[in-house]
C-alpha cells in the first residue's frame, strides 16, 4: 500500500534490506539495485518541478522485463483452475497486447451473492498475484456453491513483468478506481467493464478482497518515485513489519476484519504497531481509509465487505510460500465469516 499521504513526516529510518530475487527467472534482466537509491533524491526529474512527458519517457525507458506474465500467471491460471466450476476468460487487453485474464464461476446464478477477488493491481507485489492463484487452485471450489466468484489474479500485467508499481503511463492503478472517468486507467476501466457485464450489477456484490503487499522497496523506489513525479521530496517513512488490512472508513465491518486477522495470524505475524502508514489502527493490524475517495480498487464493486490486504514479504525468515498462504487465508476466512453471518 505504502503511505497514503504524498509526504511523510516520520523521521524513523530502518536499514534497507536487499530486494528478494528468488522469483526472477533466468533469461530476464536482473533487477536494478534499488537499495542504492537514496530515498530523498530520485534519479529522474528535479525537485519543485512535476514530471512532464520527457521525465515520464525517461522513467519508462529505464524499466525492463524481469519475469513472464504469460508463464507465471496465464499458463498457471489455465492449468490449475477447476474447469468444472470456473471458466477462464479474457476481460480486456492492455496497450502492448497484454491479455487481462479472470476466472468466473460457471452457471453464474442471480440468486447467489457475488464475490470479487483481485491481485496484482500493483504488479510488483508478487504474493498479491500468486496468492490469488493459490486460492483459485486449492480453496476456490469449496465456495462455488455459496457464491458467484469473479477472480482477477493480475490486474496490472505490465507492472507484474517489470516489477513496477505504476502502469506504463506513470499512473498508479490503485488510485484509478474512483467514479471520476478522468482518473481511470486501462486497468481500472477493464475491471469496471467486467463487473458491469456480470449479471446482477454492482448492487449484488457482497465481498471484495484486493490482495497487495507492503515492501521495503516502497521506501527505496516507489514512494521516492511518486514524490518525484509530483516535483516534491520524499521523506522517509517506517515500513510496517507484519501483515495488515486496509478497510473502508465508510463501512468498517470490524468483526469481519477481526476474523481475517485471526486467520492470518496462524500463517504469518501481524503488524504490532499502533499506527500504520501514519493511520491509527482501529484494532490489531487494521486501519481504515476512505477507499472510494482515494480511488482504491477495493472500492470498485461497492461490496459491503471490502478490504485491501497488505502482506509484508521482507521480514527475515518469511517465505514467498508463506506470503501466498497469508493471502489465501484472508480470502477463505473472509468468505467463511460471510457464510456464517449472512447466508
Ligand atoms: Zn499495493
Residue 126 CA to ligand 1 center (angstroms) comes to 10
Does a structural domain hold residue 17? Answer: no
- How far is the centre of ligand 1, averaged over its atoms, from the C-alpha of 120 (Å)? 8
Number of other CB atoms surrounding residue 199 within 10 Å: 10
Residue 103 belongs to some domain of the structure: yes
CB 134 within 8 A of CB 186: no
- Residue 198 alpha carbon to ligand 1 centre in Å: 26
Catalytic residue among 164, 213, 310, 342: 310
Predicted confidence at residue 25, as pLDDT, reads 35
Give the number of C-alpha atoms closer than 13 A to the C-alpha of residue 293, restricted to the C-beta side.
8
CA of 323 to the centre of ligand 1 (A): 14
Q: For residue 259, is it within any domain?
A: yes
Domain ranges, residue 301: 34-342
CA of residue 31 to ligand 1 center, whole Å: 19
| Residue at 24 is within a domain | no
The confidence score (pLDDT) of residue 204 equals 86
In a domain, 69, yes or no: yes
Tens-level pLDDT at each residue, the chain (343 residues) = 555 543 333 333 333 333 333 333 334 544 444 444 445 679 999 989 999 999 999 999 999 999 999 999 999 999 999 999 999 999 999 999 999 999 999 989 988 999 999 999 999 999 999 999 999 999 999 999 999 999 999 999 999 999 999 999 999 999 999 999 999 999 999 999 999 999 665 558 999 999 999 999 999 999 999 999 999 988 888 899 999 999 999 999 999 999 999 999 999 999 999 999 999 999 999 999 999 999 999 999 999 999 999 999 999 989 999 999 999 999 999 999 999 999 9
| Residue 15, in any domain of the structure | no
What was the pLDDT predicted at 233? 86
Count of structural domains, the chain: 1
Q: What is the CATH number of the domain that holds 40?
A: 3.40.630.10
Helix/strand/coil (H/E/C) assignment for every residue in the chain: CCCCCCCCCCCCCCCCCCCCCCCCCCCCCCCCCHHHCCCCCCCCCECCECCCHHHHHHHHHCCCCCCCHHHHHHHHHHHHCCCCCEEEEEEEECCCCCEEEEEEECCCCCCCCEEEEEECCCCCCHHHHHHHHHHHHHCHHHHCCCCEEEEECCCCHHHHHHCCCCCCCCCCHHHCCCCCHHHCCHHHHHHHHHHHHCCCCHHHEEEEEEEEECCHHHHHHHHHHHHHHCCCCCCCCCCCCCEEEEEECCECCHHHHHHHHHHHCCCCCECCCCEECCEECCECCEEEECHHHHCCHHHCCCCCEEEEEEECCCCCCCCHHHHHHHHHHHHHHHHHHHHHHHC
Contact 22, 127 (CB under 8 A): no
| Short-list 326, 314, 320, CA closest to 72 | 320
Quick check: is 14 in a domain? no
- Would you state the pLDDT for residue 236? 82
CA of 81 to the centre of ligand 1 (A): 25
pTM for this structure? 0.90
Q: How far is the CA of 223 from the centre of ligand 1 (A)?
A: 12
Do the Cβ atoms of 270 and 264 come closer than 8 Å? yes
Q: CB within 8 A of 39, min separation 6: which ones?
A: 219, 220, 223, 224, 234, 236
Ligand 1 center from residue 214 Cα (angstroms):
7
CA of 295 to the centre of ligand 1 (A): 13
- Contact status, residue 35 vs residue 224, Cβ threshold 8 Å: no
Is residue 22 assigned to a domain?
A: no
pLDDT of residue 200: 61
213 a catalytic residue? no
Beta bridge partners of residue 207, listed in sequence order: 115, 305
Compute the CA torsion angle 137, 163, 265, 248 (nearest 10 deg).
Answer: -100
* Phi, psi at 167, each rounded to 5°: -85, -175
Amino acid at each position: 500500500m505504502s503511505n497514503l499521504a504524498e509526504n511523510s513526516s516520520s523521521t524513523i529510518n530502518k536499514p534497507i534490506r536487499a530486494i528478494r530475487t528468488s522469483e526472477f527467472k533466468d533469461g530476464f534482466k536482473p533487477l536494478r539495485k534499488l537499495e542504492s537509491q537514496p530515498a530523498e533524491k530520485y534519479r529522474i526529474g528535479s525537485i519543485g518541478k512535476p514530471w512532464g512527458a520527457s521525465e515520464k519517457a525517461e522513467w519508462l525507458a529505464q524499466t525492463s522485463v524481469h519475469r513472464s506474465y504469460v508463464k507465471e500467471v496465464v499458463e498457471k491460471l489455465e492449468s490449475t483452475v477447476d474447469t468444472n466450476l470456473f471458466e477462464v476468460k479474457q476481460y480486456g487487453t492492455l496497450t502492448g497486447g497484454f491479455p487481462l485474464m479472470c476466472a468466473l464461476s460457471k452457471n453464474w446464478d442471480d440468486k447467489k451473492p457475488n464475490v470479487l477477488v483481485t491481485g496484482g493491481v500493483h504488479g510488483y507485489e508478487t504474493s498479491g498475484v500468486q496468492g490469488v492463484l493459490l486460492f483459485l487452485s486449492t480453496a476456490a471450489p469449496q465456495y462455488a456453491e455459496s457464491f458467484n466468484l469473479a477472480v482477477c489474479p493480475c490486474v496490472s500485467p505490465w507492472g507484474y513483468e517489470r516489477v513496477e508499481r505504476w502502469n506504463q503511463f506513470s499512473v498508479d492503478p490503485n488510485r484509478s478506481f474512483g467514479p471520476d472517468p478522468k482518473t481511470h486507467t486501462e486497468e481500472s476501466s477493464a475491471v469496471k467493464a467486467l463487473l458491469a457485464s456480470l449479471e446482477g450489477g454492482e448492487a449484488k456484490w457482497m465481498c471484495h478482497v484486493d490482495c497487495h503487499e507492503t515492501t521495503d522497496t516502497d521506501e527505496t523506489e516507489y514512494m521516492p518515485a511518486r514524490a518525484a513525479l509530483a516535483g516534491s521530496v520524499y521523506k522517509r517513512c517506517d515500513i510496517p513489519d507484519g501483515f495488515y488490512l486496509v478497510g473502508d472508513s465508510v463501512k468498517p465491518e470490524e468483526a469481519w476484519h477481526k476474523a481475517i486477522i485471526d486467520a492470518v495470524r496462524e500463517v504469518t505475524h501481524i503488524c504490532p504497531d499502533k499506527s500504520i502508514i501514519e493511520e491509527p489502527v482501529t484494532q490489531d493490524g487494521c486501519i481504515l481509509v476512505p477507499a472510494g475517495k482515494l480511488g482504491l480498487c477495493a472500492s470498485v464493486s461497492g461490496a459491503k465487505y471490502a478490504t485491501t490486504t497488505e502482506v509484508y514479504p521482507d521480514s527475515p525468515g518469511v517465505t514467498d510460500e508463506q506470503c501466498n498462504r497469508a493471502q489465501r487465508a484472508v480470502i477463505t476466512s473472509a468468505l467463511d465469516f460471510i457464510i456464517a453471518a449472512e447466508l
